[in-house]
Amino acid sequence: MRGPVYAVVPAAGVGERMKAGIPKQYLTLAGKTLAEHTLGRLLSFSPIDSVIVSVSSQDPWWPTLPVASHRRVSTVAGGKTRAESVRNGVAQALMDGGEEAWVLVHDMARPLVRLSDIQALMEQCDEQGAILALPVVDTIKQSGEDLHIDSTVDRERIWRALTPQLFPAARLYEALSADLDGVTDEASAIERQGGRPRLVAGQSDNIKITVPEDLPLARFYLARQFETGE
Interface residues with ligand CTP (CB under 6 A) are 10-18, 23, 25, 54, 78-82, 85, 107-109, 208, 210
Minimum distance of ligand CTP from residue 127's CB (angstroms): 26
Phi, psi of 5 (to 5 degrees): -110, 125
Q: Interface residues for Mg ion in 11-40 (CB under 5 A)?
A: 13
Q: Which of ligand CTP, Mg ion, none does 15 bind, CB closer than 5 to 8 A by kind?
A: ligand CTP
Minimum distance of Mg ion from residue 189's CB (angstroms): 16
CA distance to 118, 121, 170, per residue, from 130 (Å): 11, 7, 15
Nearer to ligand CTP, 81 or 225 (CB): 81
CB 174 within 8 A of CB 129: no
| Residues, the chain | 230
Minimum distance of ligand CTP from residue 215's CB (angstroms): 13
Which residues lie closer than 8 Å to 22 by C-beta, 6 or more apart?
A: 15, 61
Nearer to ligand CTP, 3 or 208 (CB): 208
Choose the stretch contacting Mg ion; rule: CB under 5 A; options: 8-16, 119-127, 149-157, 192-200.
8-16
Q: How far apart are CA 56 and CA 20, in angstroms?
A: 17
Nearer to ligand CTP, 45 or 61 (CB): 61
Minimum distance of ligand CTP from residue 140's CB (angstroms): 22
- Please give the DSSP secondary-structure letter assigned to residue 81: S
Q: How far apart are CA 134 and CA 64, in angstroms?
A: 35
Nearer to Mg ion, 155 or 160 (CB): 160
Phi, psi of 161 (to 5 degrees): -80, 130
Q: How far apart are CA 7 and CA 176, in angstroms?
A: 16
Minimum distance of ligand CTP from residue 180's CB (angstroms): 11
Nearer to ligand CTP, 55 or 122 (CB): 55
Q: Which of ligand CTP, Mg ion, none does 93 bind, CB closer than 5 to 8 A by kind?
A: none
Peptide bond into 47 cis (omega under 30): no
